[in-house]
Amino acid sequence: MSQRATGTRGMRPYGHRARGFGAAPMLCGQTTAAPFHTIPLAMRTPRHHHIPPADPGQPTRRLMRVGTLGILAFWLVVMAVLYFAMQYTLEPKGATVTAEGAVVIPRHHDGHFRVAGSVNGVPVMFLVDTGASLVGVTDTLARQAGLQGGDPITFQTANGLREGRVVASDSVTVRSLAVSGLRVGTGYTGRSSEDALLGQNFLRHFDVEMGRDRMVLRPRGS
């Protein structure tokens, strides 16, 4: 009697591929990883690029910027017009000469009398000062007019004491009126280097008539 092998026929070695299951062999101590599921392309959800919604306030802000720039431009134009208007107003009105040779000086808006003239041929803008004893010029104008040397002197001005010199000039003119050999004081401080004082040593050569809105300088004997 043949003896049937027992114990091994019904048993398969550990790790042997089981028939009919198609399972992969599994080693002792190895864990089974979760299966990786692949989603078919047809089932995938398409991705869309996010487009932010339009800002409803953007046109309003743009209009506000444009409006602000327009307002600034308007005020710049207004300020420019005012500046040139003030420059025109501040310019002293020109003096006129009558048929008799008298010089008529209109009163400036600041209450003073200003008139164009010259010292040694250099143009100046005189401020008529009946309280000043001498014609006065700035140091810059004195150099331009060739007023050199002279005697040092201290002037009493509205702003205090001022050091200067007294120099003999060739000529001082106001429109049609001229005086030669006048003593001129240097060191005057005006609004600009062309400013000068027309003092009594010039005015006393003429008849002076002062009205409310004008001053008239007449040659004596006219």
Q: Which segments in the chain show pLDDT lower than 50? A: 1-34, 36
Contacts of 97 (CB under 8 A, 6+ apart): 103, 104, 175, 176
Q: In which residue are the tokens 């001129």 written?
A: 184
The pLDDT assigned to 153 comes to: 86
Residues with Cβ within 8 Å of 199's Cβ and at least 6 positions away in sequence, in order, are 129, 132, 133, 134, 135, 136, 185
- Residue ranges of domains in the chain: 96-219
Helix (H, G, I), strand (E, B) or coil at 52: coil
Q: Please write the tens of the pLDDT for every residue from 167-217.
A: 999 999 999 999 999 999 999 988 899 999 999 999 999 999 998 899 999
Task: Give pLDDT, residue 191.
Answer: 85
Task: Supply the pLDDT for residue 44.
Answer: 54
State the pLDDT at residue 89: 55
For the 96-219 domain, the top CATH level (class) is mainly beta
